[in-house]
Amino acid sequence: MRAARVGGLQIGGGAVLVATALSDSVDGMLRGVDRVRAAGADCVELRIDRLAGPDDVVALVHRVEAPHIVACRTPRFGGHFEGSETERIERLEAASEAGATAVDIEYLAEPALRDRLMSTARKHGTPVLVGYEDMQKTPPMGTLIEGLRGVAKLSPDLVKLAVRATSHEDLLTVLRTVLEMRQVVDAPYAAIALGPHGAASRPLACVLGASFTYCAVEGEAAAGQLTVAETRSVLRTVSEQRWSCSSS
């Protein structure tokens, strides 16, 4: 698996923890970044859904020094952006042009606009995360693998699988898919089963081969999310157990 560099952060070795900042103002976003960094996360997901427009996006990117991935989510993908798809892509392009350390786009976004963003990002040397996402359900494993093969054809720098788990069987589907992802995508990847049934996927995916995962800041965790501290604790405990087993 090749590594990816997001600002000064290399992703592709040990588990990298990402946490989200989301607000309707640049100052609010910057306070969110401070909370994420204080919580101990390695990277910030800058969710620009609620900002007023591209000028705010540019101002934000110019002021964030931490490694970050800029994302703009519509309700379809669990976000708040209510503008047109063209406007959404323009925001992400503005982030790339302003020097964002990475941008995020969904594989199932409108293909021409998705590819336009990727072209703009590559022109500016911005790493691109492409996500295969289903906010309603966990498709069968065969469907997930087929979708990930489509993602791989785009040659992204980072890959994310995120689906909604409504049972522990869904959780197991995601974890089984994680074991296959290294054969499907040649990039660092995350795999998340959303919702309370999927909480364990966030650290366990990293144990099984994922390079990064998404966490919450203390006091901001929704159902099914683990905080940065909780995720690190699980990973530390599991790593110690693996070392103990290999030494015995």
Cα–Cα dist 204/213, whole Å: 10
Domain extents in the chain: 13-241
241 confidence band (pLDDT: 50, 70, 90): low
| 13-49: pLDDT as tens digits | 889 999 999 999 999 999 999 999 999 999 999 999 9
| 188-216: pLDDT as tens digits | 999 999 999 999 999 999 999 999 999 99
What is the per-residue burial (b if ≥16 Cβ within 10 Å, else e) of 116-144?
bbbebbeeeebbbbbbbbbeeebbeeeeb
Options 1.10.3720.10, 3.40.190.10, 3.20.20.70, 3.40.50.720; which CATH number does 13-241 get? 3.20.20.70
